Structure 1
């Protein structure tokens, strides 16, 4: 696969509750990673992810992040195919960059570049 899924994200209005829920349900190793964000440690047979507390009127969501070397190019191509940019490219200090788009079915998908 040339663009693998490299991260998942589960977000809701009570990040602490979500973190406890998934830790207790699946035994996930989840550690704090900044204000309102927790990282789910990857395992030998699964990718890592994150749990995020939403802010203001932001709805709960679940999404995946796909690896790409060209965030802008991927967003442009998504637009040509009927998608739309939701979050333009943004840096994650010390980690990489990300962006998000909505596909023609209304799903929000993330892009990640190391």
Structure 2
């Protein structure tokens, strides 16, 4: 079974959003250096690789809203992202953004389900990829 591993929350004002989530829920934020419009959000303690220490816990990110219709989304980890993307339309969904590599970390694509919800798909890169 594939699992939710990450979330994305759009923000019109990153500073304001970080203050809100820090004050409301105690979240911490870390700049990735990859994109200043994208900030990692830590909701639970992590190890040295920034992975949650609590079983089943997830962390996420804030990103600068580029379009008014952008909304929060969840990201699911899958073993074969290309296989999932190939099945999206057959299952009644649509591909929003094709598979793209994110530095040396993994592969990412966005899809919409049959209800119009945005979902991210993520595949970790291995040494053989």
For the criterion TM > 0.5, the same-fold answer is yes
Q: 1:51 aligns with which of 45, 49, 62?
A: 62
Q: Could you list the per-position Cα deviations for residues 75-96 of structure 1 after superposition, in whole angstroms to 9, with x for gaps in the alignment?
A: 1212111000001001111321
Q: Separation in 2 of the partners of 1:73 and 1:64?
A: 19
Conserved 8 A contact 1:15-1:52? yes
Larger radius of gyration: 2
Map 1:1-114 → 2, pairs under 5 A? 2-33=1-32, 34-43=35-44, 44=54, 46-55=57-66, 57=67, 59-114=69-124
RMSD of aligned residue pairs (Cα, Å): 1.5
Q: Separation in 1 of the partners of 2:91 and 2:70?
A: 26
TM-score by length of 1: 0.89
Runs of 4+ in 1 over 4 A off after TM superposition: none
TM-score by length of 2: 0.79
Q: Separation in 2 of the partners of 1:23 and 1:66?
A: 25
CA spacing shift, 1:13–1:59, aligned 2, 3 Å: farther
**Structure 1 segments unaligned to the other structure (5+ residues):** none
Quick check: 45-54 or 84-93, which moved more?
45-54
The alignment covers a number of residue pairs equal to 112
- CA shift, 1:23, in A, is 1.1
**Structure 2 segments unaligned to the other structure (5+ residues):** 45-53, 125-129
CA spacing shift, 1:60–1:16, aligned 2, 3 Å: farther
